[in-house]
Amino acid sequence: MKILHTGDWHIGKLVHGLHMTEDQEYLLQELIELLKTEEVDVLIIAGDVYDRSIPPTEAVELLDDVLSKVVLDLGIKVIMISGNHDSPDRLDFGSKLLRDRGLHIVGKLQKRIEPVILEDEYGEVHFYPIPFSEPAVVKALYQKDALTNHDMAMKTVLAPITEKLDKKIRNICISHAFVVGTEEPETSESERPLSIGGSEYVTAEYYHPFDYVALGHLHRPQKVSKESIRYAGSLLKYSFSEAKQKKSVTLIDLKEKGEMTIDERVLKPWRDLRVIEGDLEDLMNPEVYSLGNTEDYIHAILTDPGSLYEPMQKLRSVYPNILQLERVRMELLGDQGDEVVEMKGKNPRELFLEFYRKVTGEEEPTKEALKYFSEVYEELEREERDA
């Protein structure tokens, strides 16, 4: 059985105010061609199908078109779960009607998780789709009053499954979570935090009983703890912190129990998202800009000292899709310059700590202050997700 693992499509995504739908459509057509070429049997979409809980019309139409081609035209089975960006109820709508056609959508977590059972020449393969759910949802569903974080929530959800797994059968888990092993995975700016202060992490060991684990949420393709627990990564680069990443999908050739090959297949976007750096004159030089696609989405870092006249307008004449312009302040020296650099790339909790120290003069906030910040931030995230 050939399985293609992907996720984090974020259809309808805006990057610096620019709709990415055309770029997503281009790459999804490339994905469909790959499904044909590789003669894939099952497509896994591991959450964050849309970028918003209420996606724009063109995003819904694009997903409908892609799934119709994959399921109806190619006859490929699709198993899709919701992520933290999706609305579980909206994604679930009509799922029972579509199941007989080979489209299995699981938006809302159920207490009893039934596997999707498919067969090949080696027998049955059991797929366990586990959509993203807030700890509060799991707490209410399983009536666990002591449950307070994502790790406890996922342990609660997985325990009844792993305890009864038939070890003779090939078992695959599909999950949308921030899973960590001995080392913390690499993240990027475009991944919305599930919570603050480490309570979003889920222990990789909970997934060890499965033959393969198809994860969604992190945007860089990577393994966690072992080769068979993997993030496929996002469809496209959605922030400049992802500029150096190679986006791909994961192809699993599943043989008999204990035998499989795992490969990453790189996708080539219509327009890349990249960072260029240098003097304005150099970046405007044909010998420099001809080395790349000038239609790419660009973050330009100018190293010129002193003032420049309309640098953005000049750069746009060569790079029409430039999204960001940054000036390196060469004259910014000493403690202040160091401080500006250190603020870059910090998560909301770290920024809050910096702000707290500056305002109060105290080294660390109280537990009550941290708890209040976490609650307020998570509430804002929920409101944004439901907007």
pLDDT digits (tens, 9 = 90+) for 279-326: 999 999 998 899 899 999 999 999 998 888 999 999 999 999 999 999
Average pLDDT of the chain to the nearest whole number? 87
Q: What is the CA radius of gyration of the chain?
A: 23
Position 115, amino acid: P
β-strand pairing of 297-302 with 322-327: parallel
Mean pLDDT confidence for 365-387: 68
Q: Considering only 17-21, 44-48, 99-103, 346-350, which range has the smallest mean pLDDT?
A: 346-350
Mean pLDDT confidence for 4-27: 95
pLDDT score of 338? 42
User: Interhelix angle for 21-37 vs 57-67, to 10°?
Assistant: 10
pLDDT digits (tens, 9 = 90+) for 180-229: 986 666 666 665 555 444 458 999 999 999 999 999 999 999 999 899 99
User: What's the topology of domain 2-266?
Assistant: Purple Acid Phosphatase; chain A, domain 2 (3.60.21)
pLDDT score of 70? 97
In this prediction the pTM is 0.82
Q: Considering only 152-166, 186-200, 330-344, which range has the smallest mean pLDDT?
A: 330-344
pLDDT score of 100? 84
Domain locations along the chain: 2-266, 273-327, 340-386
Closest to 202 measured CA to CA, from 178, 172, 231 = 178
Closest to 67 measured CA to CA, from 51, 89, 86, 91 = 91
Phi, psi for 379 (deg, rounded to 5): -65, -40
- Give dist(CA 36, CA 23) in Å, integer: 20
- Give dist(CA 243, CA 275) in Å, integer: 7
